Copies of this chain bind each other. A is one copy, B any other.
């Protein structure tokens, strides 16, 4: 949708796993080629974008390599990069350029598609010393064309950063829902926008997030340990009735949060 907005719309071809998804995709993206047959979907492509779950992306390199010319650039939209980049560089070489657009919602499937989903979102590219410069340039252009602001870092730096800015918030939102509602689910009826916003992402698909959590296990565990330290610090301040410590904790959070503000 994003690529078909401009004066010279891209020619888009989609692969989908399930036959029953084909009519909705064709209806949402008129003029696009849609198929459950990977060979048909990738035929003639100048650029391939892998948008399945992390494990499916990791395992797709071998089949893909047999279907496309040796120089076709390939990128992806997976949330964890060290494992994906290692697997795909292994299967496809330097024309694979890992990417992670920091966009999306708790929803999934074609019904969640929006032409402006990527507008202004950061897309992190994770080139390595093996990366082919022409493939990198093509992939950079692709994500810019979709609406993203492109930045680059190593796969390892990416995984450490998103453990804190993306995967930790998801883990915390899931734990918060349970702490808020497990003992008395009826309090959900009293929820205001504070609870709703802090927990919205906990509606995301659990099979996808299970893969993400395990693919980024070490960095996420480190982030969760820091979360535990900060929660304990606040709990100690509240328990001790320490007005100055509580206020300092909340002030520090407010100041840090202002940096990430829209």
Task: Mark A residues whose CB is within 8 Å of B.
Answer: 102-105, 121-122, 124, 151, 161-162, 164-166, 168-185, 187-204, 206-207, 209-210, 213-214, 217, 220-221, 223-235, 238-239, 241, 243, 246-247, 249-254, 256-262
Cβ of B210 and Cβ of A198 under 8 Å apart?
A: no
A209 to B151, CA, bound (A): 37
Complex contact A189–B122 (CB within 8 A): yes
CB atoms of A259 and B185 under 8 A apart: yes
Mind listing 21 A-B residue pairs with CB under 8 Å? Answer: A102-B191, A168-B179, A169-B176, A169-B180, A171-B238, A172-B179, A174-B253, A174-B254, A176-B227, A188-B256, A203-B261, A204-B254, A206-B254, A210-B243, A210-B246, A213-B246, A220-B238, A221-B235, A224-B235, A225-B235, A228-B232
Q: How far, in whole Å, are A7 and B176 apart by their CA atoms in the complex?
A: 43
- Are B217 and A241 touching (Cβ within 8 A)? yes
Q: Note all chain B residues with C-beta closer than 8 A to A230.
A: 175-176, 178-179, 182
Given the known interface contacts A179-B223, A214-B243, the answer about A202 and B103 at a Cβ–Cβ threshold of 8 Å is no
Known: A214-B246, A238-B214, A262-B196. A253 touches B190 (CB 8 A): no
Residues from chain B with a CB closer than 8 A to the CB of A184 are 161, 164
Instruction: Tell whether A198 pairs with B224 under 8 Å between CB atoms, given A206-B254, A243-B210.
Output: no
B181–A198 touching, CB < 8 Å: no
